[in-house]
Amino acid sequence: MSIEPIKWLGDKLRLLDQTRLPGEEIYIELSDHQGIASAITELKIRGAPAIGIAGAYGVALGAQKINSKAKDEFLEKLRDVSKTLTTTRPTAKNLFWAIERMQKVARTGKDAEEIKELLIAEAKKIHAEEVESSRKLSQLGSELIWDGSSILTHCNTGALATSGYGTALGAIKWAKEQGKKIKVYVTETRPLLQGARLTCWELKKANITSVLITDSMAGYLMSQKKIDCVIVGADRIALNGDIANKVGTYSLAVLAKEHGIPFYVAAPTTTVDPNLSSGDQIPIEQRSPDEVTHIQGIAIAPEGFEALNYAFDVTPHQLISAIITERGIIREPYGEGLKEVC
């Protein structure tokens, strides 16, 4: 794997600062949970699986700084650490899943010292598992990508988003490695341009034929029969198969349906929320309007103009042809399939 966006250095975490790509490859080293929380909030690290991993390391790093010896007091302070990390971003399930798992492991430790060790081991385990999940689901997902096909993808779902192969982009990369001749259309993904900045950067490194388009061009390309399938990631999956993903995903799903094009979602099972029966219960993050009114610091609208900035949207399961997980490809009825893999 040539891209290593998340690397544990023994006593600190090294992250590739994704806000600086594609112009600069800058690595930052973080040794406390506040630093990790800020990196998540500021999108230096983003992508549902990746922020799960970073969140786990955040708990582990936070634990190392707790001075309390008594287990109860230690766990109480660890809950504060976890709270700081969980309040960074509300939509991606993986973050909450990872932190809950870290909390659970902490409770099994007999004393502060053991808990500290257990948490580092658990974060590394979560990291390794997510990398492995991403490899498996990329392999499975690649089966849905035909030789000679053109694939539309949205946002970034590659190594940067997962620390492994990727999810949607992982399947695309796997298909390429199998020798399939494919072409990828990448939506730029406004407002923060993860498609243009990050996915194009990964596709270039992977030497895959690809073309950048604005989000608004996807419909026209479909009408011109230039797209054979759409494949995207997910930030949270409800038990009925509804998914939340980067804003614009829903529009692509509606357009895919209109044109009879398969619409695939690829995500590890850590993205599934077993507490939610449908997508309308998924909390949708609203970010600063400045991300819409400004592009890389430059104002594009009159000063003070009101803007909305939903970071995600919800795509109902009826529009999804299949959900690709590391434990199998799931199709309607999603309820059964998702329960089986979780």
In this structure, the dihedral spanned by the alpha carbons of residues 189, 192, 194 and 195, taken in order and rounded to 10 degrees, is 30
Structural element, H or E, at residue 56: helix 48-64
Rounded Cα gap, residues 234 and 257, in angstroms: 18
Closer Cβ to a second copy, 80 or 290, answer by number: 290
Closer Cβ to a second copy, 124 or 190, answer by number: 190
Give min distance, CB of 259 to a second copy, in A: 9
- Which listed residue (17, 235, 273, 313) is catalytic? 235
Rounded Cα gap, residues 224 and 62, in angstroms: 52
Closer Cβ to a second copy, 72 or 306, answer by number: 306
**Is residue 273 among the annotated active site residues?**
no
Give min distance, CB of 227 to a second copy, in A: 12
CA nearest 135: which of 103, 165, 107? 165
**26: phi then psi, degrees, rounded to nearest 5:** -110, 130
The answer to whether 80 touches 257, Cβ cutoff 8 Å, is no
Using CB under 8 A, list all residues that contact a second copy: 22-23, 185, 187-191, 193, 196-197, 200-201, 204, 210-221, 223, 247-248, 250-251, 254-255, 258, 289, 292-293, 295-296, 298-302, 305-308, 310, 313-314
Residues 6+ apart with CB under 8 A from 139: 174
Give min distance, CB of 184 to a second copy, in A: 10
Residues 6+ apart with CB under 8 A from 114: none
Q: Is 261 helix (H, G, I), strand (E, B) or coil?
A: coil
Give min distance, CB of 203 to a second copy, in A: 8
Rounded Cα gap, residues 28 and 112, in angstroms: 28
Give min distance, CB of 213 to a second copy, in A: 5
CA nearest 99: which of 87, 117, 86? 86
Closer Cβ to a second copy, 284 or 341, answer by number: 284
The answer to whether 164 touches 132, Cβ cutoff 8 Å, is yes
CA nearest 118: which of 169, 56, 189? 56
Give min distance, CB of 301 to a second copy, in A: 4
Closer Cβ to a second copy, 188 or 326, answer by number: 188
CA-based end-to-end distance of the chain: 27
Closer Cβ to a second copy, 122 or 188, answer by number: 188
The answer to whether 41 touches 18, Cβ cutoff 8 Å, is no
Place of tokens 């003070």: 304
Catalytic residue positions, numbered: 235
